[in-house]
Amino acid sequence: MVLPRIVGAEILDGLAVDDPAATRSRRDLRRVHRAMATRSIVSRALRAAIVSTPATRPLQVLEIGAGDGSLLLGVARRLAPAWPPVELTLLDAQPLVERETITSYADLGWKVVPAVVDVLGWAAAVTDPLLPNSATARWDLIVANLFLHHFADADLAGLLGAIAVRSDRLFACEPRRAWLALAGSHLLGALGVNAVTREDAVLSVHAGFKGKELSALWPSGPAEWRLHEYPAGLFSHCFRAERVEVV
């Protein structure tokens, strides 16, 4: 039996930043990532994606829907020894990045700029309001973790269209829309997570992806792209897009 893609509003997105249930749910997310092995999945993919970039300037990296920036910090710790310096913009609709997190990135040689912005507003702007003009014409890499599934296909196609114009690479790690992941999301209470996290986890799987769904939404434009979409771990679905001339 197929699981149709259903995008529902997640509870966490409707809570105030300082709502205790939201704070707890954001902390829960770290446990969820451990159960999903997200850090390993993302580290492996980014190591492969960025391998051929010359180290002549800091890499310009944008994470969309970055949350508190802690997931990518764990990834950065693994990547930093082999990567050039990074200028990282953490975009989220809510102000969630703490000073200590920025300091931890700085210890790795990664300069962080938080940006409290709605991603659809970012995508709709005529020119990219976040890319530092002096650095490069495009982001070297845009990353999304547990984020693209928030959007129904029409908004997602617009967002992917903006990403294709403004970057050389995208990597996304999303919930896999599959029976095993759905069962896992219903069992999340075993990790001791709160009601918001439990409910959002189930919604996330229903809004997740399978097969080549993200590839199908990627724009066909003048630039050539290499697309790779694949299941990862038990519960994740990954999508990698690389502009061919930079690979």
Task: Give min distance, CB of 19 to ligand SAM, in A.
Answer: 12
Total residues found in the chain within this entry: 247
Min dist CB 4 to ligand SAM, Å, is: 21
Residue (29 or 108) nearer to ligand SAM, CB: 29
CB of 97 vs ligand SAM, minimal distance in Å? 10
Question: CA 116 to CA 15: how far, in whole Å?
Answer: 16
Task: Summarize as ranges the residues that interact with ligand SAM (CB under 6 A).
Answer: 13, 29, 65-67, 71, 92-94, 96, 118-120, 145-147, 150
Q: Which residues does 70 contact at the CB level (< 8 Å), separation at least 6? A: 30, 101
Token duo for residue 139: 């982001």
* Minimum CB distance to ligand SAM smaller for 44 or for 243: 44
Exposure of 8 in the CB half-sphere (CA atoms within 13 A): 13
- The rounded distance, in Å, linking the Cα atoms of 135 and 59 is 9
Q: Provide the minimum distance between the beta carbon of 109 and ligand SAM in the complex, in angstroms, as a whole number.
A: 22
Shortest Å distance, C-beta 222 to ligand SAM: 27
The secondary structure of 134-192 as a DSSP string is TT-SSBSEEEEES-GGGS-HHHHHHHHHHHHHHBSEEEEEEEB-SHHHHHHHHTGGGGT
For the bound state, the minimum distance from the C-beta of residue 188 to ligand SAM, rounded and expressed in Å, comes to 13
Helix 99-107 to helix 70-79 angle, to the nearest 10 degrees?
10
Q: Which is nearer to ligand SAM, 58 or 69 (CB)?
A: 69
**C-beta of 43 vs 94, nearer to ligand SAM:** 94
Complex with ligand SAM: residue 89 or 145, whichever CB lies closer: 145
Instruction: Using the minimum distance from each CB to ligand SAM, give the nearer residue, 30 or 47.
Output: 30
Q: Closer to ligand SAM at the Cβ: 61 or 66?
A: 66
Q: How far apart are CA 124 and CA 193, in angstroms?
A: 35
CB of 126 to ligand SAM, least distance (A): 18
Structure tokens at 31: 């446990």
* Residue 194 phi, psi dihedral angles, 5° rounding: -85, 180
Please, is 79 exposed, middle or buried when counting C-beta atoms within 10 Å of its C-beta (0-12, 13-18, 19+)?
middle
